[in-house]
Amino acid sequence: MTELEHKQDRAPVPAGWDYAPAPEARDIVQLEERYGLFVGGELVEPRSGEWFPTLSPATEEPLAQVALAGAEDVALAVDAAREALEGEWAKTTPSERAKYLYRIARILQERSREFAVLESLNGGKPIKESRDVDLPLAAAHFFYYAGWADKLEYAFPNRKPRPVGVCGQIIPWNFPLLMLAWKIAPALAAGNTVVLKPAETTPLTALLFCDVVRQAELPPGVVNIVTGDGSTGAHLVKHTGVDKIAFTGSTEVGKAIQRELAGTGKKLTLELGGKAANIVFDDAALDQAVEGIVNGIYFNQGHVCCAGSRLFVQESIYEPALAKLKRRMATLRVGDPLDKNTDVGAINSRMQLEKIQELVEAGKDEGAEIYQPPCRLPEKGYWFVPTVFTNVAQSYRIAQEEIFGPVLSVLTFRTPDEAVEKANNTPYGLSAGVWTEKGSRILSMASKLRAGVIWANTYNRFDPTSPFGGYKESGFGREGGLHGLGPYLRFDE
């Protein structure tokens, strides 16, 4: 270590830094008491007659009642999507389709503060992330796919691309609006119609999006949104009028959907979990790498399928790396998602909190060493302190299973080959990170790591032009880029 690094390691953590509260105003969001289902361009009462509350995970305050769609409701939404597919949407020229997508993108930009506040309120993520990441990326997705809508013949020359038909799309709660954008933008660009089901804990931005769809004057039935739980999702998967299912969520449900669809001829893409390796070599710029480690696992409370949840540090720099990481962790501000200074917000649901707690207990029982910075948590709501485990063996549950929370497992390696072998020792294969000064090492690692997305000297970077998706139990099919259009098209071979 250099002398400067020694000095920095001894410098006290600035624990006395208190930030004045900087809450984002909530009044831009107008909540309804209850929300129906968006079918054929209208919000309608559910035939099921069932409703459920949705709340703020930071305060447990109920925000609204949301419809729980049953089989009949799902069928009505699929019928509306079919009618639009064969009716007005079929007559809409590709360049007109592009105009609708551009319109949606611009409306999302105009209303971005409203969406960002609602996203943080309903999902618990820090406002600085919903404002600076989720919203800009959601709009960028619509802009990007708008550009392809009238160029499909060029994108897939001589293959006569046609829409697949009615697409059933099921999304999770970690990036509610962004996952909606990932699903709806390419589907519409390719000329399909959709029935989308948001996750049960985060339906509100999808319901606000219905308003955007109306504002953009999209023909009724092109986008339908049915709220509900896993049973609603299952009805959508089973419905014979659906031509394609796109699912993002747990590996367990992904496998069940794949079994259900086997032999039906329905198209399927799955984006499932991950247990990514973030690999730091001894020649990496260490401060930068520490920022990348923190971003990799504590961004969005670790509710990220591509989170860098397994940190591999080269043995020769293990001690300085850990010292710097712990110092950095002590500066993370955990608390009110609507406060602009907050780094780590609320855990999305009680269920998810319990899952994190269970795995953290397992880590302690198996013999790993836990570190959590001193941290005062709010009394109400669902919270978990940013956590790092050292002394982790490859076989421990915390090194094998997806925790989907702010919990990092640290392992070490000596040689690049050992890093590759350990990193690939997982049933998943969604993403990985490599930190090194050597370009040749980046290329060699990228070719050996079995992961769909590999970041070099950065982490959790997303761009609509870049395909995203996994290997092995992380699923199949790509979202984003040209690759993301393929699953929404049929070709005359």
CB of 199 to ligand NAI, least distance (A): 4
**Span of 252-260, 408-416, 434-442, 451-459 interacting with ligand NAI by CB under 6 A:** 252-260
Alpha-carbon 458 to chain mean position: 18
**Span of 105-113, 182-190, 245-253, 448-456 interacting with ligand NAI by CB under 6 A:** 245-253
**Span of 29-37, 131-139, 169-177, 434-442 interacting with ligand NAI by CB under 6 A:** 169-177
DSSP state for residue 341 in the 8-state scheme: T
| 205 near ligand NAI, rule: CB under 6 A | no
In the complex with ligand NAI, which residue's Cβ is closer, 249 or 320?
Answer: 249
Q: Which of residues 335-354 bind ligand NAI (CB under 6 A)?
A: 352
Contact 311, 293 (CB under 8 A): yes
| 220 near ligand NAI, rule: CB under 6 A | no
Q: Which of residues 403-422 bind ligand NAI (CB under 6 A)?
A: 404
Distances (CA, A) of 381 to 53, 121, 299: 15, 12, 19
Helix/strand/coil (H, E, C) string of 6-51? HHHHHCCCCCCCCCCCCECCCCCCCCCCEECEEECCEEECCCCCCE
Catalytic site includes residue 271: yes
Structure tokens at 36: 């129906």
Among 97, 197, 422, 478, contact with ligand NAI (rule: CB under 6 A): 197
| 270 near ligand NAI, rule: CB under 6 A | no
| 248 near ligand NAI, rule: CB under 6 A | yes
| 5 near ligand NAI, rule: CB under 6 A | no
| 87 near ligand NAI, rule: CB under 6 A | no
| 402 near ligand NAI, rule: CB under 6 A | yes
| 199 near ligand NAI, rule: CB under 6 A | yes
Cα(65)–Cα(68) distance, rounded to whole angstroms? 9
CB of 246 to ligand NAI, least distance (A): 11
| 170 near ligand NAI, rule: CB under 6 A | yes
In the complex with ligand NAI, which residue's Cβ is closer, 24 or 200?
Answer: 200
Q: Of the residues 129, 271, 402, 479, which is catalytic?
A: 271
Cα(41)–Cα(37) distance, rounded to whole angstroms? 10
| 305 near ligand NAI, rule: CB under 6 A | yes
Among 126, 168, 203, 233, contact with ligand NAI (rule: CB under 6 A): 233
CA-based torsion, 183, 184, 185, 188: positive or negative: positive
| 355 near ligand NAI, rule: CB under 6 A | yes
Residue nearest to ligand NAI (CB): 233
Phi/psi for 146 (5° steps) reads -55, -40
| 250 near ligand NAI, rule: CB under 6 A | yes
Contact 36, 44 (CB under 8 A): yes
Cα(20)–Cα(335) distance, rounded to whole angstroms? 13
Contact 23, 339 (CB under 8 A): yes
Match 């940013």 to its residue by tokens.
386
Contact 396, 409 (CB under 8 A): yes
| 253 near ligand NAI, rule: CB under 6 A | yes
Structure tokens at 288: 């930068």
Contact 253, 247 (CB under 8 A): yes
Contact 246, 169 (CB under 8 A): yes
Contact 176, 199 (CB under 8 A): yes
**Span of 84-92, 146-154, 171-179, 415-423 interacting with ligand NAI by CB under 6 A:** 171-179
In the complex with ligand NAI, which residue's Cβ is closer, 412 or 426?
Answer: 426
Structure tokens at 86: 């064969």
Among 272, 277, 432, 485, contact with ligand NAI (rule: CB under 6 A): 272
| 200 near ligand NAI, rule: CB under 6 A | yes
Cα(273)–Cα(267) distance, rounded to whole angstroms? 20
Q: Of the residues 167, 210, 305, 306, which is catalytic?
A: 305
| 101 near ligand NAI, rule: CB under 6 A | no
Alpha-carbon 83 to chain mean position: 31
CB of 181 to ligand NAI, least distance (A): 14
The closest of 459, 424, 450 to 280, measured between CA atoms, is 459
| 229 near ligand NAI, rule: CB under 6 A | yes
In the complex with ligand NAI, which residue's Cβ is closer, 196 or 420?
Answer: 196
In the complex with ligand NAI, which residue's Cβ is closer, 65 or 457?
Answer: 65
In the complex with ligand NAI, which residue's Cβ is closer, 69 or 313?
Answer: 69
Catalytic site includes residue 210: no
| 71 near ligand NAI, rule: CB under 6 A | no
**Span of 106-114, 207-215, 253-261, 284-292 interacting with ligand NAI by CB under 6 A:** 253-261
Buried-state track 176-186, b at ≥16 Cβ within 10 A, e below 16:
bbbbbbbbbbb
CB of 312 to ligand NAI, least distance (A): 21
Burial label for 14, CB within 10 Å (0-12, 13-18, 19+), is exposed
Helix, strand, coil share (%) of the chain residues, nearest 5: 45, 15, 40
Structure tokens at 330: 């002590």
**Which spans of this chain sit near ligand NAI (rule: CB under 6 A)?**
170-172, 174, 197, 199-200, 229-230, 233-234, 237, 248-250, 253, 256-257, 271-273, 305, 352, 355, 402, 404
Catalytic residues: 271, 305
